[in-house]
Structure 1
Amino acid sequence: MDSYDVMVIGGGPAGYVAAIRAAQLGFKVACVDAFERNGKGSLGGTCLNVGCIPSKALLDSSEKFEMIQHEAQEHGIVVDGAKIDVAKMLARKDSVVDKLTGGVAFLFKKNKVTSIFGLGKLVRPEGEGWVIDAAGTEVLAKHVIVATGSSPRALPGVQWSERIVENTGALTIPEVPQKLGVIGAGVIGVELGSVWRRLGAQVTILEALPGFLATADAAVSKLALREFQKQGLDFHFSVKVEKIEDTGSSVKVSYTEKEQTVEAEFDRLIVSVGRVPHTAGLGAEAVGLALDERGFVKVDGHFATNLKGVYAIGDVIGGAMLAHKAEDEGVALAEQLAGQSGHVNYDTIPWVIYTTPEIAWAGLTEQAAKDRGLNVKSGQFPFSANGRALGHNDTRGFVKVVADADTDRILGVHMVGPNVSELIAEAVVIMEFGGSAEDLARTVHAHPTLSEAVKEAAMAVDKRAIHA
């Protein structure tokens, strides 16, 4: 029986990063992963294969198409007869995925991580370790890391089909639907709805909650919703879906809105109502691995489960279901196993929505800070007063800095606008070091750059922004 210091079950962002970091620290490591793409094993999990990466590739393609159609003329660029080749666009998306998943395979070889494709299952404790069924072969591991990720949540009674799809199917729709329905106004629903709207679909988004992006800063969510509606996304809130029927040629959806029953018909329907922990086939019940009432693996502050030598990280333990959160947990756990003090600061994890305009935030909203009893001050700066944004012809949005009025320490930074997915990193760094609004305001930023809006927002905390 082969034996390893560390066996990772799951090859997504949590698992593959944990495997590589553990190998760097001198452990003998193997990773077993059951994900398949195009009929063969593929590392990278949901994120690289059917999530973060392919969706961003499609977002970029659709943004370029819309720019050529509607914005290029303002730059003096005239393009006649632009059209979209969906098959080629999807092929490009697949090539991006191939490069990155192949890159993970290369990193495994470089770091001498043994890769096993197939299902990983906890079998029994043995000595100081665990016997794992790795794709049908039993192996022994001193430490086991469960990183099996999450799966799309299905609606009760609704079966996936060619026309009723989750995030995976939404990435492979072969032609632009005339009418596209989306259930769920969360990150995935809005991003994928935006892709197909830019390509020409009429997009209707049905959301059960009464408002848009309740976890974001109120001013950010308000502006973003207004911009998305101007673009043509048709939002309906406080909706209760009663029935979904795939007729073979369309999808019929019956829902209740404002006590009125509405019958809608779509060419395709994307269901994006959250994700659930993926523990099927893990053997959790047989070995007594503790799960909570929602099916997440229970862990302590050091990712340890109730079973000695078994740990869990990533989506399967709950919290923010974000690839970068999972990656940091993978690094932290590997370092803890090596006797180091790996740590994840959950208070500074950035959230990003890759729409146009982009949305990003880290830390507390102003209201959340007040709810904690903190004395709060804030500053805001619009991209309409930023030279680089004007040059880009994209001045929608703003940057908002929330600080403690007593200590000036930054509590949260919230952005909506161009390239804020990149700008948020600056906020995370200064928050990680406990920096103040004054620290950020006194830091020289290159001119002209979008990042100057971050500096000006920090200056606005004390009402001394220069350009607004």
Structure 2
Amino acid sequence: MVVGDISTGTELLVIGAGPGGYVAAIRAAQKGVDTTLVERDAYGGTCLNHGCIPSKAYITVTDLAHRAGHAEEMGIHADPVVDMAGMREWKDGVVDQLTGGVEKLCKANGVNLVEGTARFDGPNRVRVAHGGEGQGSESIEFEHCIVATGSRPIEIPNFSYDDLPVLSSRDALALDSVPERMVVVGAGYIGMELSTVFAKLGTDVTVVEMLDDALPGYEDDVARVVRKRAEELGVEFHFGEGAADWRDGNDGGIVVATETEGGERSEYDADVVLVAVGRAPVSDTLDLDAAGVETDEKGFIPTDDQCRTNVDSIFAVGDVAGEPMLAHVGSKEGIVAAEVVAGEPAALDYQAVPAAVFTDPEIGTVGMTEDEAEEAGFTPVVGQMPFNASGRALTTGHTTGFVRVVADEETGFVLGGQIVGPEASELVAELALAVEMGATLEDVAATIHTHPTLAEATMEACENALGQAIHTLNR
């Protein structure tokens, strides 16, 4: 039996329950706004279910196994065996706990939850098709709407995700067994993270990238540290090559063909090919034209500093709104949009947005680089502390990399920082706070840091910029 179409109303409708959507829904409900959240797949979105959380779970497991098997210099001799199915089961447990928590938090804060796929049916109404045969649909009228539908992996010509040997990042995180050979297309942060994971699991990994180095967008000396470590783990890089096509091989595997700009072709044997060339917005399912919402040529929804689209009552947050496509940025945008809906004077400020890459070693960045500071009209002063001079780094066995701080020479204000090394994703928070609070080099340097910790490297980098470092040579 088909359930008849029903019609309901809400003050705020949020489409998508990822890090931008569910956070927006909860904050709006906390502000007394009648809020309805529509999700078609799973609470927590790509981040919790198929991206950030499962990938970091795998990174943790593979780091543990690899470190245990390569710790002879510490007096540890072991030969760990990784059970891929068991690892996946543990990862799924972590995901289930978090996604279940999101649903409970939404309900506890009074958010009305609706399962289904939403499409606009006008500037103040959507139709939600419920999943499953005979489940019908409903119309929801709203005063305000926040679009938080996220993004999906980009598919490139001749590499359809419908073909079993072709994997998206989501597919790679759902494998039941470890492939012997893998070609990774793309050396951005997703490609580099997963290349490291599978290399540590024993896979022969070959990375092809059209650009001339890994991790485009990061400074050369930062990317170099990560690429060198990946090469030590056995990852083979081929730059200046783009994936052209693939075919079945003679040994039961596949052959991936690449091509340079000059037309030169190369071939690489593999069992699977992971395509990690970026993500595209999920905006084509919404029928945005019906609401009058404009998109750019790539499908992203342009917004202002309050996350408003060109339609005043409709907002967009997270990946669907474009760069920076980071889960924590989506959450912040969701909070801003919700508070604007609630009548508060909220607005975005992107000057202190930290970013992290969970490679080996990790990368953490925030604010300006030295070159960016110069371009912005500052006279930058730079301080740096290598981890091989850190007592705590030496006791962990992770001494590769450095902390770098960029500040304005005249005022001493911290403008940004770049960290590559152990726990960089955690350490960058101190520099993000410094940029956000308008702290100076002296503020950070004068703050007593616990010894022995990795965080002391941030203090020493600031001292180095002031010309008074004790544990590293001053510039």
Normalising to structure 2: TM-score of the pair?
Answer: 0.93
Partners of 1:143 and 1:246 in 2: CA distance: 51
Over residues 250-272 of structure 1, what are the superposed CA-to-partner deviations in whole Å (9 max), with x where a residue is unaligned?
A: 23211135854211121111000
Q: Does 1:280 align with 2:284?
A: yes
**Residue by residue, what CA displacement relative to the aligned partner does 1:380-430 show, whole Å, maximum 9, x if unpaired?**
001111111111111111100011112211111100111111000011011
Q: 1:301 to 1:327 in 2, by over 3 A?
A: same
Within a 5 Å distance, the mapping from 1:109-120 to structure 2 comes to 109-120=107-118
1:27 pairs, out of 27, 33, 40, with: 33
Residue 58 of structure 1 aligns to a residue whose secondary structure is helix
After superposition, give the CA deviation of every residue in 1:277-297 in whole Å (9 maximum; x if it has no partner).
Answer: 111220112332211111111
Residue 460 of structure 1 pairs with residue 464 of structure 2:
yes
Task: Write the letter of the residue equivalent to 1:70.
Answer: H
Distance 2:164 2:436 in 1: 45
- For 2:321 and 2:396, how far apart are their aligned partners in 1? 41
The AA in structure 2 aligned to 1:78 is H
Q: Secondary structure at 1:2's aligned position in 2?
A: strand
Mapped to 1, the partners of 2:20 and 2:126 lie a distance apart of 19
Distance 1:400 1:94 in 2: 37
Q: Deviations over 1:355-398 (max 9, x none)?
A: 11111100111122223332111010011111111111111111
* Unmatched 5+ stretches in structure 2: 1-6, 130-136
Amino acid at match of 1:175: S
**Residue 43 of structure 1 corresponds to which residue in structure 2?**
43
Q: 1:247 to 1:21 in 2, by over 3 A?
A: farther
Shift of 1:140: 1.4
Aligned to 1:242: 244
What residue identity is the alignment partner of 2:186? G
1:297-312 to structure 2, matched below 5 A, reads: 297-312=301-316
CA drift at 1:341: 2.5
Amino acid at match of 1:233: V
Q: Name 1:228's counterpart in structure 2.
A: 230
The 10-residue stretch of structure 1 (11-20 or 204-213) with the greater mean CA deviation from structure 2: 204-213
Residue aligning to 2:256: 253
How far is the alpha carbon of 1:117 from its aligned partner? 1.2
* Aligned mate of 2:85, from 84, 87, 90: 87
> Conserved in 1, the CA contact under 8 Å of 2:188 and 2:216?
no
**Residue 367, structure 1, aligned to residue 371, structure 2:** yes
The whole-number CA distance in structure 1 between the counterparts of 2:44 and 2:260 is: 40
- Displacement of 1:134 in angstroms is 2.3
Report the counterpart of residue 329 of structure 2 in structure 1: 325
The answer on 1:262 being equivalent to 2:256 is: no
2:133 equivalent to 1:134 = no
Local SS of the residue matching 1:177: coil
In the other structure, the counterpart of 1:394 is 398
SS at match of 2:221: helix
The counterpart of 2:275, out of the listed 263, 271, 274, is: 271
Aligned to 2:134: none
Matches of 1:304 and 1:343, distance apart in 2: 10
Does residue 188 of structure 2 align to residue 186 of structure 1?
yes
- CA change 1:196–1:319 in 2 (3 A) is same
1:66-215 residue pairs with structure 2 within 5 A? 66-71=66-71, 73-79=72-78, 81-125=79-123, 130-135=124-129, 136-160=137-161, 161-215=163-217
* Aligned residues between the structures: 456
Residue 455 of structure 1: how far off its partner (Å): 0.3
* Counterpart secondary structure, 1:423: helix
After superposition, the CA RMSD in angstroms is: 1.5
Cα separation, 2, equivalents of 1:292 and 1:145: 18
Contact 1:216 1:365 in 2 (8 A): no
Identity within the alignment, %? 39
Secondary structure of 1:464's aligned partner: coil
d(CA) in 2 for partners of 1:199 and 1:288?
Answer: 49
Provide the TM-score with structure 1 as the length reference.
0.94
Structure 1, 307-316 or 248-257: larger mean CA deviation = 248-257
Measure the CA separation in 1 of the matches of 2:400 and 2:422.
7
Quick check: 1:304–1:310 contact (8 Å CA) kept in 2?
yes
Cα contact 1:217–1:366 (8 A) shared by 2: no
| Contact persistence 1:205–1:236 (CA under 8 A) | yes
Partner secondary structure for residue 121 of structure 2:
strand
CA 103–290 in structure 1, closer or farther in 2 if over 3 Å, else same: same
Q: Distance in 2 between matches of 1:5 and 1:247?
A: 57
In the alignment, residue 121 of structure 1 is paired with which amino acid?
R
Paired with 1:387 and 1:93, the residues of 2 have a C-alpha distance of 33
| Paired residue type of 2:58 | L
Shift of 1:144: 0.6
Match of 2:351, SS state, is: helix
Asked whether the 8 Å contact 2:151–2:319 carries over to 1, the reply is yes
Q: Does the CA-based 8 Å contact 1:152-1:274 persist in structure 2?
A: yes
Taking the aligned partners of 2:248 and 2:100, their CA distance within structure 1 comes to 37
* TM superposition shift of 1:108: 1.0
Q: Report how far residue 464 of structure 1 moved.
A: 1.2
Separation in 2, partners of 1:281, 1:357: 38
Aligned-partner Cα distance in 2 for 1:246–1:340: 59
Q: What displacement does 1:445 show?
A: 0.4
Match of 1:294 in 2: 298
* Kept in 2: contact 1:163–1:246 (CA 8 A): no
2:28/2:339 contact within 8 Å kept: yes
Q: Distance in 2 between matches of 1:68 and 1:328?
A: 38
Letter in 1 for 2:31: L
> Equivalents in 2 of 1:137, 1:239: separation in Å?
49
Q: Does 1:422 align with 2:416?
A: no
CA distance in 2, matches of 1:247, 1:49: 33
Q: Tell me the SS of whatever aligns to 1:430.
A: helix
Q: 1:265 & 1:378 partners in 2: Cα distance?
A: 45
Equivalent-residue separation in structure 1 for 2:249 and 2:316 (angstroms): 42
TM-aligned CA deviation for residue 246 of structure 1: 5.1
Residue in structure 2 matched with residue 38 of structure 1 by the alignment: none
* Distance in 2, Cα, partners of 1:290 & 1:247: 45
Distance 2:437 2:273 in 1: 44
Residue matched to 1:39:
none
Mapped to 1, the partners of 2:409 and 2:219 lie a distance apart of 18
Quick check: 1:164–1:246 contact (8 Å CA) kept in 2? no
Range 90-99 or range 116-125, more displaced: 116-125
Residue identity opposite 2:246 in structure 1: I
What's the counterpart of residue 342 of structure 2? 338
Distance 1:63 1:374 in 2: 40
